[in-house]
Amino acid sequence: MKPLDILIMAAGKGTRMHSHLPKVLQRLAGRPLLQHVLDQAAQLQARSAIVITGHGATEVEATSAGWIRATGQFDLKFARQEPQLGTGHAVQQALPQLRTDGTVVVLSGDVPLTQPDTLRALIAASQAASATLASVSGGALALLTVTLPDPTGYGRIVRNAQGAVQGIVEHKDASTAQRAITEVYSGILAVPARLLAPWLARLTNHNAQGEYYLTDIVAMAVQDGVPVLAHRIDDALQVAGVNSPVQLAELERAHQLRQAHALMEQGVRLADPARFDVRDDTRSGVRGELVCAQDVEIDVGCVFTGRVELGDGVHIGAHCCIANATIGAGAVIHPYTHIDGEQAGVTVGAGALIGPFARLRPGAHLGREVHIGNFVEIKNSTLADGAKANHLAYVGDAALGERVNYGAGSITANYDGANKHRTVIEAEAHIGSNCVLVAPVTIGAGATVGAGSTITKTVPAGALGVARGKQMLLANWARPTKQPKP
Ligand code: UD1
Ligand code: CA
């Protein structure tokens, strides 16, 4: 295998996105389109990638350089194309940085769903020709093509009577007969690098659009006796580009369906693969990855962000959002639960019951059989095995021991307006309803806090702490009566 150098076309404007964000930075599954394409380059073990930038060049270059620095996979370079005079002109701008001993693969920064196997087959077609056709100087021009029911707008693959490719004719330059051709050029090709320079030098812009067409190199290859091979695929999604929000959403659904099918093939039971999403975490760049053990069931409308692990037999109810979290075996997450571990992560122990309408925030670490009910928020706190907070509560910066029962409406007052303080509640303590635990404060093992208490001092182990107004009784109390209007 010759080394691979990838050229990524990313200078176009993307007018139809109607966005301030350059098109190739629009996100699919939380990941910028260009990053999807750079991932393809990484999967092919490319030696280098040259991104051709123009519109939004500074932003595109700054953002994408960061991703590669983070992974260190290959040599990433940029070539500016200003103004944009066509796809051939774009490749001309990259030529000075392109090594001549490799195979070049041309990709588009706005075509995110091409499968590495498809590209490998295309590269093989470009390289294999050197062995089979010894008369040739080595290598072939390999075009990725697809047959579309409506080929309007695309470059048509023109073949001779024997079926050999003769050239590509752009839609605007095509005759009526040529427009009837349904096999189109995908915008993706593979070619030995050393063949490119002489062809690019011969390009002209004498065509309907006044552009330098990269596709004109096909006829030049035929003229020069270089074999031209069309690698035709059926799956149009693999070569579909993003030009509008509608197309972006279509590809998003296609990508999500693909991820859903891969999980179902491993045994994950999705109530509806069309209502399921796994995304990168756009805040941290953590890759969207849902790792499932056996017998996991996921109801409709769930969104998984970043890395999420679900243990054996976990059930996720409808419409849960779960980010950067690990859910233990047999745990049940009831509908409408929001779990977001951000950087600190969230862990839910085996057999826990969470929700409906619960919120677990960064640093929530829950033991086995913990119960968290509706409208309960947990942040930066550990709850040991069997602890329960079943209704309307806030637990922040706290450590709850085993089997603590945390009453409805109770909160930790963890923030004094300047600093955060910790609350410690030892094993088997019972916090009544509607209590305020003013941190820093400790509730000892087995202690009880009476309902409605505002606790500011330690409650020792085994004690009852009550801190509320004493009840007063006035017998036969006559309520005020309404005065008659004058
Ligand atoms: C091109 C092909 C056409 C093919 C189609 C597939 C040419 C002349 N035509 O069409 O045969 O069917 O792709 O989608 O190549 N770009 C630049 N600089 C430019 C022009 C374009 O970087 O000066 C980039 C765009 O950002 C885009 C890619 O090249 O990523 C393709 O450009 P686009 O205008 O979408 O394709 P067409 O030229 O219409
Ligand atoms: Ca164009």
**Phi, psi at residue 27, to the nearest 5°?**
-105, 140
Give the pair of three-digit tokens for residue 263: 């999980």
Residue located nearest, by CA, to atom 34 of ligand 1: 12
Q: How far is the CA of 24 from the centre of ligand 1 (A)?
A: 13
Q: Which of 397, 403, 408 is nearest to 452 (CA)?
A: 408
| Rounded CA separation 9/84 (Å) | 11
444-476 per-position pLDDT tens digit: 999 999 999 999 999 999 999 999 999 999 999
Check if 94 has its Cβ closer than 6 Å to any atom of ligand 1.
no
| Rounded CA separation 188/60 (Å) | 21
Q: What's the confidence (pLDDT) of residue 128?
A: 79
Q: What's the confidence (pLDDT) of residue 135?
A: 41
**For 439, how many CA atoms within 13 A lie in the half-sphere containing its CB?**
21
| Rounded CA separation 110/37 (Å) | 8
Q: What's the confidence (pLDDT) of residue 132?
A: 55
Secondary structure element (H or E) that encloses residue 87, with its range:
helix 87-94
Check if 168 has its Cβ closer than 6 Å to any atom of ligand 1.
yes
Q: Which of 396, 392, 451 is nearest to 425 (CA)?
A: 396
What number does the ligand 1 atom closest to the CA of 170 have? Answer: 11
Q: Are 57 and 80 in contact (CB under 8 A)?
A: yes
Which residue has 């209704």 as its token pair?
391
| Rounded CA separation 299/267 (Å) | 14
Q: Are 291 and 274 in contact (CB under 8 A)?
A: no
What number does the ligand 1 atom closest to the CA of 84 have? Answer: 23
**Phi, psi at residue 223, to the nearest 5°?**
-55, -40
Q: Break the chain down into helix, strand, coil percent, rounded to 5.
A: 25, 30, 45
Residue located nearest, by CA, to atom 3 of ligand 1: 155
Check if 110 has its Cβ closer than 6 Å to any atom of ligand 1.
yes
Q: How far is the CA of 119 from the centre of ligand 2 (A)?
A: 23
**Phi, psi at residue 44, to the nearest 5°?**
-85, 0
147-163 burial, b if ≥16 CB within 10 A, otherwise e? ebeebeebbbbbeeeee
Q: What's the confidence (pLDDT) of residue 134?
A: 33
Distances in Å between the Cα of 307 and the Cα atoms of 181, 280, 341 are 45, 8, 10
Check if 53 has its Cβ closer than 6 Å to any atom of ligand 1.
no
Alpha-helix residue ranges (DSSP H) falling in 266-410? none
Check if 189 has its Cβ closer than 6 Å to any atom of ligand 1.
no
Which residue has 């966005």 as its token pair?
19
CA dihedral 129, 135, 141, 147 (to 10 degrees): -70
Residues labelled catalytic: 391
Q: How far is the CA of 87 from the centre of ligand 1 (A)?
A: 6
End-to-end CA distance of the chain: 102
Give the pair of three-digit tokens for residue 69: 């620095």
Ligand nearest to the CA of 11: 1
Q: Which of 467, 423, 427, 421 is nearest to 447 (CA)?
A: 427
What number does the ligand 1 atom closest to the CA of 85 have? Answer: 23
Give the pair of three-digit tokens for residue 66: 């960061």
Look up residue 415 and give its DSSP letter: B
Which residues of the chain carry a pLDDT beneath 50?
Answer: 131, 134-135
Alpha-helix residue ranges (DSSP H) falling in 18-86? 33-43, 57-71
Q: How far is the CA of 87 from the centre of ligand 2 (A)?
A: 7
What number does the ligand 1 atom closest to the CA of 241 have? Answer: 14
**Phi, psi at residue 455, to the nearest 5°?**
-100, 120
Q: What's the confidence (pLDDT) of residue 66?
A: 82
Q: How far is the CA of 468 from the centre of ligand 2 (A)?
A: 75
Check if 185 has its Cβ closer than 6 Å to any atom of ligand 1.
yes
Q: What's the confidence (pLDDT) of residue 65?
A: 84
From 8, 82, 87, 214, the mutation candidate for ligand 1 (largest count of ligand atoms within 8 A of CB) is 87
**For 229, how many CA atoms within 13 A lie in the half-sphere containing its CB?**
21
Q: How far is the CA of 86 from the centre of ligand 2 (A)?
A: 6
Ligand nearest to the CA of 86: 1
Ligand nearest to the CA of 85: 1
**Other CB atoms within 10 A of residue 76 CB:** 22
What number does the ligand 1 atom closest to the CA of 155 have? Answer: 11
E strand spans, 179-301: 183-192, 228-233, 269-270, 276-279, 289-292, 297-298
Ligand nearest to the CA of 171: 1
Secondary structure element (H or E) that encloses residue 305, with its range:
strand 302-310
